[in-house]
Structure 1
């Protein structure tokens, strides 16, 4: 297009999309009102007045070559190279599955979701999304816990919010739990770990209202703009529980990750944005998780979740480091994950989902072994966000990494326990807080140099169980995710009971809010 051509609402909107500016930013750049820009979207055939034609001409002339190429692409120039986001919108099968799911549950005709996401993607300003990420990072774990306590209250019958105390430090969380679900001392192997998957458990019907559908469109557009991974893999949904000391029992049904990502997973972002804006308006929460009764009624909603573990690895005494201890691993989550982004968490941490055997993989311990291989021992072939799973038995001994193979060679080398269970009010997720202990010092001497976090972590930190001051300071860090702090506190409690002289930490006690 050149200055001799006539601008229309459609071509002006195409320029806005090429510049990747929001309505407000585009209006500011042109020196006009934001409602004028909105009007171009509503009336694509509208021809702006001559003065506005000149303003748009100048904006196009000042655009960079890359922005001009995108403008040509949005006008339908076949020679223009599509952006990676647009290519993914058209070709990524997981995005395609999400669009199909959205059309179905919003009651739209096929293709409507794709068009809606494309239009929203064209108006997104990536810089604004980065700025929003920064604002979200300023909202602390304590802010989140306090906001959810204000929304729900702190107790229903014998269930209340988990609080841990370490000396004068009080750690409130958003994890709803009860006495029977804490200090489980439950080995993650049969016969203690015995969740089941009954046959034919259909999901409840779900129809998205207009607001819920628009938020799902926004999530997909942002996923494309920020190149966030999204994989439509099967996940477990919790149906019932029978959890007590030394026993994990209950039932799981099945769902798909896109169902989770486009519904209840949106509650975390809505909550954090509301806290940042000092607002109490959370319409998605009002719809999906309105009260504690709904939180506890796990069979009537999509209750997805996962397993996360504090990993403690024995190290020998060292003339430079000091006495024999346990190395504790803590991650800062990457900005490329869908939930708990940029938050502190224990590692490994992953969704509870089947690999190849829906019934056998329901055991919590299988997910934890898979996550240990994936997140710390470098097994990319079992990361279902990277590639499709084609192996008949991904955890077969012949496929294990060398560190995991060494651990599994002797039954006492790897201790895995569930230390607590709860329902996280952030998104309603179930959380199996766990502890991984490697007591044999030979492991660290052999494999300490190959223990490395995967793409889900931005950084990996190490702490010593003999460093009371630093671990206590870590517990007070406001950057924790709520489930991460829950698992950390419960893991340290259990480690103090079984770790002997390697553990020199202050006592941690828990209580359930009244």
Structure 2
């Protein structure tokens, strides 16, 4: 159910320490009364929750892990797969039904073990290799835009994020008076005409999605049309597209790049088609430019006899192998797609996405994860639905600080990235709710770092497992935290430059 100990205990009506003891003693046999309580919880669980449970206890094949049905059944009954197939038929100029037959045929040749092996090979490609390859492909700079580089002490880190001076150190609090984004239309953009190779790769993506039992939700996402970003001000406009359009086109660029590097090849025909040069990267109005918001989370803690002086706890995740972007890479948390829930205009603000991701990825609210269930709530972010930690933060306006620290376009897939910072300055939060902060399914692990630990933080920033956008947000977040964090931050100065 992806609940914390405390929330699961509350759901069952038992003490939190009881649930904690179950996790420590998984072989414990429950008394009959408690078995009845758990039976009831199981009966009330959703199909997706039951399927996950069955997989964990080894009672269901992996192919049924998400939907509870076989690949062939999902190919014909899953409405999201159906929408993707319809989009593919239309975009490839195929007779309706052709995409479904093509995916069914390709599915027979897909081996799950081969996909796992490919994922392992991709994970061996380092962040530095990605940057070097993209620099060679694109060059370093166009006009006043270049690749973001950072320095901490004697160490230099490079990223694939294309940015400029006006887009960095914006120190923009995510409040209505400082966010000026507009959604110009709710109509999805026109279909892209796919050539034979692009259509074949889209078929392969759908076949692999079914083979791996990956949930594909064809929800609306924002596409960037223009920007007006400067110090203390975010502005611009967004249109709306559907996730299938992105998943079957621009999102394929990352996998193509990783496979080329793993094989020692320079052939990237999809990149040649969609993002052939830096001018096309910057021309967001005339291409599909999806993206997201990611934030360095810093939580104040009091002095500790073992850890030392008062500090900020920094949270870093290793991304799960099941996520769409930056699988098995290091990233800050939260990190999510910029997309509307129910209100296209209000949700266009970066702060709206960041608050949603904070609730979903750290405070345990699966009801706002549209990859798990359909969104039927009129206002999913209504104050009455807030998690307990978020309710406490909202009681006082100074308890939660959300800022944008920078903006860039990631050359890996052409996505836009809003680097952000979440600061909780009240030490009482960690004492109250530290035990309830828990990553969701998108993370494989969650790591803690201290802003007083120069050695480990410097080592972390040099790790080649970072995603490029994660490293960008981490560096920009630490720069801003050093300005506002006072004595809690004891790290070497972090500087940036734009490569030429």
Q: Shorter chain as normaliser: what TM range?
A: 0.7 to 0.9
Q: Does 1:120 align with 2:106?
A: yes
Q: In structure 1, which of residues 384, 394, 407 is the aligned counterpart of residue 393 of structure 2?
A: 407
1:231-251 CA-to-partner distances (Å, cap 9, x unmatched) read: 100000000100001000010
Aligned partner of 1:367 in structure 2 is 353
3-state SS of 1:253 partner? strand
Measured in 1, the distance between the counterparts of 2:207 and 2:192 equals 22
1:345-380 CA-to-partner distances (Å, cap 9, x unmatched) read: 000000000011100110000000000000000101
Q: In structure 1, which of residues 293, 305, 319 is the aligned counterpart of residue 279 of structure 2?
A: 293
Aligned partner of 1:277 in structure 2 is 263
Aligned partner of 1:356 in structure 2 is 342
Query: Does the 8 Å contact 1:228/1:338 carry over to 2?
Result: no
Q: In structure 1, which of residues 208, 211, 221 is the aligned counterpart of residue 197 of structure 2?
A: 211
Measured in 1, the distance between the counterparts of 2:374 and 2:414 equals 28
Measured in 1, the distance between the counterparts of 2:158 and 2:288 equals 25
> Residues 207-286 of structure 1: matches in 2 within 5 Å?
207-286=193-272
Q: Does 1:437 align with 2:423?
A: yes
Q: In structure 1, which of residues 66, 74, 87 is the aligned counterpart of residue 73 of structure 2?
A: 87
Q: Does 1:320 align with 2:327?
A: no
3-state SS of 1:195 partner? strand
Aligned partner of 1:504 in structure 2 is 490
Aligned residues: 434
Aligned partner of 1:452 in structure 2 is 438
1:24-49 CA-to-partner distances (Å, cap 9, x unmatched) read: xxxxxxxxxxxxxxxxxxxxxxxxxx
3-state SS of 1:350 partner? strand
Report deviation, 1:255: 0.3
3-state SS of 1:191 partner? coil
Aligned partner of 1:346 in structure 2 is 332
Report deviation, 1:320: 2.4
Measured in 1, the distance between the counterparts of 2:370 and 2:220 equals 10
Aligned partner of 2:91 in structure 1 is 105
Are residues 263 and 164 of structure 1, via their aligned partners in 2, closer, same or farther at CA, if it must alter by over 3 Å? Answer: same
Measured in 2, the distance between the counterparts of 1:408 and 1:338 equals 31
Q: Which moved more, 1:427-436 or 1:220-229?
A: 220-229
Aligned partner of 1:179 in structure 2 is 165
Give the TM-score taking structure 1 as reference length.
0.83
Structure 1 segments, 4+ long, off by >6 Å, are none
Measured in 2, the distance between the counterparts of 1:409 and 1:258 equals 39
Are residues 447 and 200 of structure 1, via their aligned partners in 2, closer, same or farther at CA, if it must alter by over 3 Å? Answer: closer
3-state SS of 1:196 partner? strand
Query: Does the 8 Å contact 1:229/1:337 carry over to 2?
Result: no
1:368-396 CA-to-partner distances (Å, cap 9, x unmatched) read: 00000000001011000001111111111
Query: Does the 8 Å contact 1:306/1:352 carry over to 2?
Result: yes
Aligned partner of 1:472 in structure 2 is 458
Report deviation, 1:205: 4.6
Give the TM-score taking structure 2 as reference length.
0.85
> Residues 414-433 of structure 1: matches in 2 within 5 Å?
414-433=400-419
Measured in 2, the distance between the counterparts of 1:95 and 1:465 equals 45
Measured in 2, the distance between the counterparts of 1:173 and 1:200 equals 33
1:35-83 CA-to-partner distances (Å, cap 9, x unmatched) read: xxxxxxxxxxxxxxxxxxxxxxxxxxxxxxxxxxx9xxxxxxxxxxx97
Measured in 2, the distance between the counterparts of 1:324 and 1:269 equals 42
Q: Does 1:389 align with 2:379?
A: no
3-state SS of 1:198 partner? strand
Query: Does the 8 Å contact 2:181/2:235 carry over to 1?
Result: yes
Measured in 2, the distance between the counterparts of 1:181 and 1:467 equals 29
Measured in 2, the distance between the counterparts of 1:100 and 1:211 equals 18
